[in-house]
């Protein structure tokens, strides 16, 4: 990674930060607070992995989650999944939803058993992706070199290399697998025993796999033998057809989710009229299926609601965000030509409303949906009480616990 990428970078409101300035790290997803788009990751360093304390992270409002090569929400990702992270310093430390750390924290040695790099101050995430998502984006595959097996579990030696062909310098890694490891081939779901029955893997002992190219799902689990770091294979996709099928399933899951929760965006400009009227231009956030953006056709009606940085609706009313949403007609849709920065869709929507609200000001975050999308009632934990603008408005509250002081 370049020296420029390692310099601490703090995003600015209303600007999508360059991916090149993000700090990169990898680790196990340990905790998720999905309604507040935050969680904790046990970050891989140069010490004993199991000793590393989980470190909180928060998704940026425009931050993208990808799972199985497709758009995802934090709730879709099983705990234990090893994730690749691209993150920055908190844009505004005063309103950070997770602890703010010293800027140089990733350089500190946490002691000789943990090492450096396990507690980066860059805990506001632009891109959070699992192993196959990372490899598909980067044009990488895992080359399987050798398998050693006994009683349907064992080790695989493999290396992550460019799909187009490596330079022979890829570092080999030993990963564990067991009877719960899922194997995907075309439309088939296989187990270890079926690979053995087909003669592809031995029932016992070692066998060369001759650099077979696959995609791997990677997790972490406690490892015998006192090794510093050894990851575990949760899934093996043996061919492109199997990977594409899995990605399509996840895409459909995410599409249905977003139609019920609305597309996030930020406000670029507001042209104020009389008596609460205004024309508002917003940029839809990126990382989602194109069909969601295509739904914003010219002259269609939209509903708009202000949200805070965790994307929780700030106007809940007594029946949820739809009750309090501003409504308006789309006047224009435009697409930014060429490449757009990660986090942005490049799609701008200009709409007119007769109820401009406090949440619709330049650089503020909103959620927007076509009026034709399902008018469903969101679960109570996903929007704030009217007049309560704290992301800590969650269920249950600390009031359920007895006070033993005194």
Residue 106 DSSP code: G
pLDDT of residue 109: 78
Residue 110 confidence (pLDDT) above 80: no
Q: Which residues of 86-116 are buried (b: 16+ CB within 10 A; e: fewer)?
A: bbbbbbeeeebbbeebeeebbeeebeeebbe
Percent of the chain with pLDDT over 70: 90
Mean pLDDT of 172-180: 96
Mean pLDDT of 41-54: 90
Q: What is the tens place of the pLDDT at every residue in 306-349?
A: 998 999 988 655 667 888 889 999 999 999 888 999 999 999 99
The most confident of 97-111, 254-268, 387-401, by mean pLDDT:
254-268
CA distances from 282 to 109, 293, 313, 362, 373 (A): 43, 13, 17, 9, 19
pLDDT of residue 388: 54
Q: What is the tens place of the pLDDT at every residue in 124-148?
A: 999 999 999 999 999 999 999 999 9
Residue 77 confidence (pLDDT) above 90: yes
pLDDT of residue 401: 62
Nearest to 81 by CA among 10, 136, 28: 28
pLDDT of residue 380: 82
Cα angle: 217, vertex 223, 228; to 5 degrees: 95
SS3 content of the chain, % helix, strand, coil (to 5): 20, 40, 45
pTM over 0.85: yes
Residue 289 DSSP code: -
What token pair was written down for 42?
């046990």
Cα angle: 264, vertex 285, 376; to 5 degrees: 30
Q: How many CB atoms lie within 10 A of CB 372?
A: 12
Nearest to 326 by CA among 283, 383, 373, 278: 278
pLDDT of residue 231: 96
Nearest to 39 by CA among 48, 28, 49: 28
Q: What is the tens place of the pLDDT at every residue in 384-394?
A: 866 555 656 65
Q: What is the tens place of the pLDDT at every residue in 246-264?
A: 999 999 999 999 999 999 9
């Amino acid at each position: 990674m370049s020296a420029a990428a390692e310099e601490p970078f703090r995003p600015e409101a209303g600007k999508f930060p360059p991916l090149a300035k993000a700090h990169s790290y990898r680790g196990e997803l340990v905790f998720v607070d999905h309604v507040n788009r935050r969680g904790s990751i046990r970050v891989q360093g140069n010490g004993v992995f199991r000793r590393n304390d989980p470190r909180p992270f928060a998704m940026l409002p425009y931050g993208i989650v990808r799972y199985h090569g497709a758009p995802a929400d934090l709730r879709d990702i099983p705990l234990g999944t090893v994730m690749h992270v691209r993150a920055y310093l908190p844009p505004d430390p005063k309103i950070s939803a997770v602890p703010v750390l010293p800027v140089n924290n990733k350089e500190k040695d946490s002691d000789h058993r943990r090492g450096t790099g396990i507690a980066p101050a860059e805990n506001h995430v632009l891109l959070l992706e699992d192993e196959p998502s990372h490899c598909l984006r980067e044009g990488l595959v895992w080359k399987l070199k050798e398998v050693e097996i006994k009683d349907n579990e064992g080790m695989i030696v493999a290396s992550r290399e460019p799909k187009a062909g490596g330079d022979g310098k890829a570092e080999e890694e030993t990963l564990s697998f067991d009877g719960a490891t899922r194997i995907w081939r075309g439309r088939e779901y296989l187990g270890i025993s079926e690979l053995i029955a087909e003669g592809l893997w031995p029932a016992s002992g070692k066998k060369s796999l001759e650099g077979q190219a696959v995609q791997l799902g990677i997790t972490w689990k406690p490892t015998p033998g006192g090794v510093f770091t050894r990851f575990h294979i949760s899934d093996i996709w043996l061919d492109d057809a199997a990977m594409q099928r899995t990605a399509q399933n996840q895409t459909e899951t995410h599409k249905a989710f977003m139609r019920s929760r609305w597309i996030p965006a930020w406000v670029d400009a507001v042209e104020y009229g009389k008596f609460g009227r205004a024309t508002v231009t917003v940029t839809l956030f990126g990382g989602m299926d194109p069909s969601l953006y295509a739904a914003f056709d010219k002259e269609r009606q939209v509903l708009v609601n202000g949200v805070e940085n965790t994307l929780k609706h700030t106007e809940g009313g007594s029946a949820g965000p739809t009750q309090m949403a501003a409504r308006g007609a789309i006047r224009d849709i435009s697409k930014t030509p060429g490449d757009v920065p990660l986090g942005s869709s490049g799609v701008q929507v200009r709409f007119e409303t007769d109820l401009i609200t406090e949440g619709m000001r330049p650089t503020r975050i909103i959620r927007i949906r076509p009026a034709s999308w399902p008018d469903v009632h969101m679960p109570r934990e996903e929007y704030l009480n009217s007049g309560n603008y704290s992301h800590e408005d969650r269920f249950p509250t600390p009031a359920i616990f007895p006070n033993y002081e005194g």
